[in-house]
Amino acid sequence: MINIPNLAIVLGLTITYFQLTPPPIVVDLTDRIAALASPMAMFYIGILLMSLKSKKGNYGKITWIPISVKLIILLY
């Protein structure tokens, strides 16, 4: 089973075992990408809310309320 997640785990464990440190540009890049994860998730949830709210029927009403609560919790 060779796939990208398994290769990443093996690579990470190997780097940790040999106590290698990545270059500062890699560390800076991963910090910036990690900082974008929450705002991008909020944008995605907002898009989902707009698409569910525009749907007619009971399904949209039942689903968008818990998503809104999660968005408010992530905001604070």
68 pLDDT above the threshold of 90: no
Of the two residues 1 and 26, the one the predictor is more confident about is 26
Q: Using CA atoms, how far apart are residues 35 and 71, in angstroms rounded to an integer?
A: 17
Percent of the chain residues past pLDDT 70, beyond the cut = 86
Global model pTM greater than 0.85: no
Helix (H) or strand (E) holding 46: helix 24-54
